[in-house]
Amino acid sequence: FSLSYIAYGLKYSGSCSVKKYNKKGKMIDNNDITGLMQAEGGVLCATVLFVLMVRLLILRDNRRTQRKLKIDLEGQKKCGGYLFFIGMGLYIANFGLCIGGATNIMNLYTQETNTTVRCDSEFYDFYYHAKIGELVVLMPYAAYIIFSLVFMMSIQKQWFIRRKLRRWAKLLDADQDGVISQDDMMKTNEKLERLRKLVGARQMALSASKQKKWWDDNVFKRGPGKDIHVEEYVTFMEGTLGTGPPHDRANKIRPVVKKWFDFFTTEEYMKKKLILGEEDFVKFWTILDKGDDESHYKRMYIKHFPSPLSMGDIMEDFVAFLSHPDFFDEYSNRVFNVVKHRPEGTCCKL
């Protein structure tokens, strides 16, 4: 549409217009339909180029081999916000010009009195039928976008936080049988003990009573020592977090995550902000996620975790993982992108 609109608009420039006159015969408006067509084609072409540019930026980001710097994240986030609003502006302009062009060309010969219409027949036929085809494509797409923004956004956020909570539950469900049991607790604690030895922050393991207290207080919500189904645990977590803003959810879940991190590190160690290198990062997730695809963890380290990275940053990423429902937010996605990994041929349950 874009190139043909520009080409026909230039070819028939000035050959289709509607002039309005007042009662004294003085022209008060001259609506150049060919100019409107050129403007519509130009905005469509700009939109296509903008989308292509964004796709190239995404492709470049996905193929980078160097980690981002933490100090650059805020600027990149603002840039992403600007690109979003530019894109929205272009789509709104497209929609407005499309409706305006359709209104003008389809009502061209049903004008009110005191108007004169002059339009080349070939231009009219092309623009009229092109508008019908464009509306057939654009209107369902516009309805889909509006429906998604108004009705589906909140539902998608609920689905996303549920997926993340389910992945968290699966980290605690050692045998992956859908039930978090006492045996799972012992196996998970063994993994956390291996993490303690890897990190080297805590010289002595957390006492057995404190370990059990964390599980009883935060996981076994059917009663101390009673197994809980993963879906029951996810439902409990959803109810605990509520539907408030992300910072309220984060404040609710941070004490839980902090005490969980106490299994293998200490607050004093995290305050030192010692850098976590790629090798230790891969070992950390290989133990915790029981994965054997080290290349996946290396990709995630480069792609999603900015430099410098410390154990305290990992803890805050876990807080965002469990509390932020925004599926388009980088902080909300970091841990999820690591643990959602699945071998080819499998899928993640919604």
Does residue 262 surpass a pLDDT of 80?
Answer: yes
Give the model's pLDDT for residue 111. Answer: 61
Write b or e for each residue in 10-32: b if 16 or more Cβ atoms lie within 10 A of its Cβ, otherwise e. Answer: eebeebbebbbeeeeeeeeeebb
Query: pLDDT averaged over the chain?
Result: 87
**What's the rounded mean pLDDT across residues 142-169?**
87
pLDDT score recorded for residue 343: 52
In the chain the domains, ranked by start, together with CATH numbers, are 2-119 (no CATH), 155-339 (1.10.238.10)
Q: What is residue 345's predicted lDDT score, i.e. its pLDDT?
A: 46
Q: What is the largest CA-CA distance in the chain?
A: 97
Highest mean pLDDT among 99-113, 125-139, 209-223: 209-223
Q: What are 82-114's pLDDT values in tens digits?
A: 998 999 899 889 888 888 888 888 877 776 667
| Residue 193 in this model has a pLDDT that exceeds 90 | yes
Q: In this predicted model, what pLDDT tens digit does every residue of 224-238 receive, in sequence order?
A: 878 999 999 999 999
With 50 as the cut, is the pLDDT of residue 143 above it?
Answer: yes
Give the pLDDT confidence score for residue 349 in this predicted structure.
44
For residues 257-269, average pLDDT: 94
At 251, the amino acid letter reads: N
Which run of H or of E encompasses 75? helix 73-106
Query: What's the pLDDT score for residue 283?
Result: 94
Considering Cα of 156, then 160, then 165, then 170, what sign does the dihedral take?
positive
Q: How many CA atoms lie within 13 A of 332 on its CB side?
A: 18
Mean pLDDT is lowest, of 123-132, 149-158, 177-186, 296-305, for 149-158
Percentage of the chain modeled with pLDDT above 90: 42
- 301 burial level (CB within 10 Å; 0-12, 13-18, 19+): buried
Q: 3-state class of 117 per DSSP?
A: strand
pTM attached to this predicted model:
0.81
Closest CA to 164 of 71, 238, 68, 79: 238
Q: What is the per-residue pLDDT across 279-335, written as a single tens digit (0 to 9) for each? A: 999 999 999 987 768 899 999 999 999 999 999 999 999 999 999 988 878 888 999
User: Which of these, 234, 288, 232, 300, lies nearest to 260 by C-alpha position?
Assistant: 288
24-63 pLDDT tens trace: 777 777 788 888 888 988 998 999 999 999 999 989 888 8
Contact 270, 205 (CB under 8 A): no
pLDDT the model gives residue 346: 45
Confidence at residue 311, expressed as pLDDT on a 0 to 100 scale? 94
pLDDT of residue 350: 44
